[in-house]
Amino acid sequence: MAHPSPLQSLHDSAEPLIGLYGTPERSISVVQAFDPIEVEYAAIRRHAAIFDMPHCGVLEFRGDDRAGLLNRMLTQNLADPAPEGKIGRSRNSFLLDRKGRVAADLRIIHLPDRTLAIGEVFAIERTRESLEKYIITEDVTITDQTASSHVLAVHGPAAAAILGAGVEGDPAVATNIRRDTSVESILFGVPTLFDRHDWSGEIGLTLVAPAHQVAALYESLSTPWSARGPHDAAAPQTTLARRIGWHALNMARIEAGTALYMLDFGPNSLPHETGDSTLADRVSFKKGCYLGQEIVARMQSLGHPKQKLVGLRVQGAGSNAAQAETGTPIVESASSAATGTQPIGAVTSSAFSPLNGGEPVCFGMVKYSHAVSGRTLFLHTTNGPVPAIVQPSLSFLRPA
């Protein structure tokens, strides 16, 4: 079940732009912006930014058989979490239904004594119910921790250093954390899980902390040091992360080619429709059986999906062009737009990309026959057809 962010009153005092995540029937408030989006985006790329994530839910798995249950239910290879001492291992994975469609998109965090799954908040309860049906004699218990735990994200080249400054004991717990690993520590007096998940194109650290202490943690990571008293007054401002909203982080994650569940694909999508990089990240084709595996294996070896998520770089529009909104029809040609021909797809996410001269970039779900790198398609906007070229991948980051 979704819950209001424990940071809501803190956010309200700053009077940010607020948006609703979800549907008219089920929604939750998410900060869209505190300051100009350009300033918040720059914090991600140049320093560090902190984002509140009330749209994420948390499941906790305990018991000796938890890894075995997850491995036979989810698409990624989770048979050997192999925690190294206090260091946990993290993976992205799908939970499919019996028809092979994506019932949930999960971040699985294996720790020595338990396993966490972070997922879309409105899917988390049905995820728990689905998995519990397959517990027969196994030693596994699943608890929905969404109300008692809360998720934050810190992104940027200085993210690890900022967290390291507040870690009790050895700062290397945060500063040296590797991709797809996790560790638990005390951060500014709050027991916190760190998970290295780089989904913005920069260092990314997902934090899971007790809901009743997360406001103190958030303020410690982002409140000016001079407001803390004499002992901390001399600490440089650069040891803090800027508070940001969704608009800036959305720009960065689209540039990085990160597709999101319930935005770019959803419960009616097949894994092969979610884009090549998404599929490779979440599905193992070397492991044994899991729920929905037969459909996935058959498509991998014998066919292809009807549609596929692609990256689209808008052409000749410039930074002053109107941004294509979610749902904008994608058509085969300029003449198709003029004659009202049936669309071959639709935009799922879009943003202006500072790393690409401010030009619009977007993800689009299009018919498989049109998901060809280098092909020109057209966005059917209110200003007329706008050309967009299918990219080799979902990522728009320029090579180093």
Q: Which amino acid makes up residue 273? A: E
Q: What's residue 230's pLDDT?
A: 42
Per the CB < 8 A criterion, the answer to whether 164 and 174 are in contact is yes
- How far is residue 245's CA from residue 21's CA, in Å, rounded to a whole number? 13
Tell the burial category of 316 from Cβ atoms under 10 Å away from its Cβ (0-12, 13-18, 19+): exposed
Per the CB < 8 A criterion, the answer to whether 365 and 346 are in contact is yes
Q: What's residue 81's pLDDT?
A: 57
Phi, psi angles (nearest 5°) of residue 287: -90, 175
Q: What's residue 160's pLDDT?
A: 96
- How far is residue 123's CA from residue 121's CA, in Å, rounded to a whole number? 5
Helix axes 124-132, 66-73, angle to 10 degrees: 100
What tokens were used for 210?
Answer: 């007790």
* Cβ neighbours for 23, distance < 8 A, ≥ 6 positions apart: none
- How far is residue 110's CA from residue 182's CA, in Å, rounded to a whole number? 8
- How far is residue 287's CA from residue 289's CA, in Å, rounded to a whole number? 7
Q: Which amino acid makes up residue 7? A: L
The residue with tokens 């940071």 is 7
* Cβ neighbours for 209, distance < 8 A, ≥ 6 positions apart: 149, 150, 152, 187, 190, 191, 192, 193, 217
The C-alpha angle 69, 71, 76, rounded to 5 degrees, equals: 150
Per-residue pLDDT in tens (0 to 9) along the chain, 400 residues: 678 999 999 999 999 999 999 887 889 999 999 999 999 999 999 999 999 999 999 999 999 999 999 999 999 998 765 566 678 999 999 999 999 999 999 999 999 899 999 999 999 999 999 999 999 999 999 999 999 999 999 999 999 999 999 999 889 889 999 999 999 999 999 999 999 999 999 999 999 999 999 999 999 999 654 444 443 433 344 579 999 999 999 999 999 999 999 999 999 999 999 999 999 999 999 988 999 999 999 999 988 999 999 999 998 755 445 678 899 999 998 877 566 678 999 999 999 999 998 889 999 999 999 999 999 999 988 778 899 999 999 999 976 4
Structural domains of the chain, ranges and CATH numbers in brackets: 1-258 (3.30.1360.120), 259-390 (3.30.1360.120)
**What is the number of other CB atoms lying within 10 angstroms of the CB of residue 289?**
11
Across-strand partners of 65?
none
Per the CB < 8 A criterion, the answer to whether 112 and 83 are in contact is yes
- Nearest alpha carbon to residue 243 among 274, 270, 211, 215: 215
Phi, psi angles (nearest 5°) of residue 148: -95, -15
* C-alpha pair distances (Å), 65 with each of 78, 98, 141, 182: 12, 22, 9, 20
Q: What's residue 108's pLDDT?
A: 97
Tell the burial category of 79 from Cβ atoms under 10 Å away from its Cβ (0-12, 13-18, 19+): middle
Q: What's residue 1's pLDDT?
A: 65
Tell the burial category of 400 from Cβ atoms under 10 Å away from its Cβ (0-12, 13-18, 19+): exposed
Across-strand partners of 150?
209
Per the CB < 8 A criterion, the answer to whether 222 and 50 are in contact is yes
